[in-house]
Amino acid sequence: MHASFAPLFRAILALGLPLVLSACAAMSDAPPPPRTLDDVLATATTAMVNAHPRLSDYDPLIPTTVVDIDDLNRSSTLGRLASEIVAARLTEAGLRVREVRLRGELYSEEYTGELMLSRLAQRVGIDQGGRSLLVGTYAVGEDRLYLTFRIVRTSDANALAAAQVSLPLTNDLRAMLDRW
């Protein structure tokens, strides 16, 4: 560096460095960006797969619609979408996920989905050739949405893996709940 620029460089560094450092500190204190439904469900799916690395021993898996915890015969756009997202993630993780809606044999009520949290779950899972089921519930709080998921073995109804998540109840989520 040319000697005549050295004092100017030191002055810029002396004035600029504290500003840069304070900006970095302010950024680290900023709240994290809001987590999306996709992000939260990806994390939950990864947790289930990691908790039971041999889940593929129990595929094919049949995904069912996530239902309202207060009424297991009721779901929503959110419940149907959550099931679709988790099923896609399980497929990406290498599990065989059976699309039973293509066969037309599983009872599916319009605007409700494939509701499996019932006494018929084991029989329907076996009838559809599934060795495990993805089941789940959601609950709506005042300002949070809570979701639970379980992968259940059809032969004995034991849960192989489970995950639970919650999200701030945004207008987007409220719109998918069909009742807000």
Q: Are residues 23 and 84 in the same domain?
A: no
Range of the domain at 155: 37-176
Distance (Å) of CA 2 to CA 5, 7, 14, 15, 37:
6, 10, 18, 20, 56
Q: Are residues 53 and 107 in the same domain?
A: yes
Question: For residue 95, how far is the Cα from the chain centroid?
Answer: 16
Phi and psi of 18, rounded to 5°?
-60, -35
pLDDT digits (tens, 9 = 90+) for 113-129: 444 454 445 455 555 57
Q: How far apart are CA 118 and CA 7, in angstroms?
A: 78
Q: Are residues 79 and 140 in the same domain?
A: yes
Number of domains in the chain: 2
Is the pTM higher than 0.75? no
Q: Are residues 23 and 100 in the same domain?
A: no
pLDDT digits (tens, 9 = 90+) for 135-149: 999 999 999 999 999
pLDDT at position 6 is 62
- pLDDT tens for the 180 residues of the chain, in order: 566 666 655 655 555 555 555 555 555 566 666 689 999 999 999 999 999 989 999 989 999 899 999 998 899 999 999 999 999 999 999 999 988 654 444 444 444 444 445 444 545 555 557 899 999 999 999 999 999 999 999 888 899 999 999 999 999 999 999 764
Q: Are residues 70 and 19 in the same domain?
A: no
Q: Are residues 146 and 64 in the same domain?
A: yes
8 A C-beta contact, residue 120 and residue 78? no
- Integer-rounded Cα Rg, in Å, for the chain is 24
